[in-house]
């Protein structure tokens, strides 16, 4: 029998443009976005409120070449048939999604 698991909605507190942390946060977010594009890495989504930049999986090798010395907090989480891979660069999370591979039997 199938089960249904309900999760509460996660809300991110809105940041005011008048807050002290807004300017440094958006500056580092925009700077990294520009540098990723300059490196030829295709960006799928920009989510400023979550401080995340989603890239195409095809750009991961280039990401490692260009930003390998800046990678921090490497992590992955699997949900269903998709794995979200995330690294932190300059305080901004860069993520990409990959399909879970089934093991050969």
What is the tens place of the pLDDT at every residue in 6-65?
665 566 666 676 778 888 899 999 999 999 999 999 999 999 989 999 999 999 999 999
Q: Does a structural domain hold residue 43?
A: yes
Non-local CB neighbours of 61 within 8 Å, separated by 6+ positions: none
Q: Does a structural domain hold residue 91?
A: yes
d(CA 63, CA 57): 10
Name the pTM for this structure. 0.78
What are the φ/ψ torsions at residue 65 (nearest 5 degrees)? -65, -45
Which domain does 80 fall in, by range?
22-99
Q: How many domains does the chain have?
A: 1
Q: Does a structural domain hold residue 5?
A: no
């Amino acid at each position: 029998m199938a089960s249904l698991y309900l999760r509460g909605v996660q809300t991110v507190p809105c940041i005011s443009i008048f807050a002290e942390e807004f300017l440094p946060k958006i500056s580092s977010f925009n700077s990294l976005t520009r540098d990723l594009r300059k490196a030829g890495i295709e960006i799928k989504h920009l989510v400023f409120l979550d401080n995340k930049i989603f890239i195409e999986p095809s750009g991961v090798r280039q990401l490692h070449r260009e930003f390998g010395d800046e990678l921090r907090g490497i992590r992955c989480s699997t949900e269903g048939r998709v794995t979200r891979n995330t690294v932190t660069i300059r305080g901004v999370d860069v993520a990409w999604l990959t399909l879970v591979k089934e093991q050969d039997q």
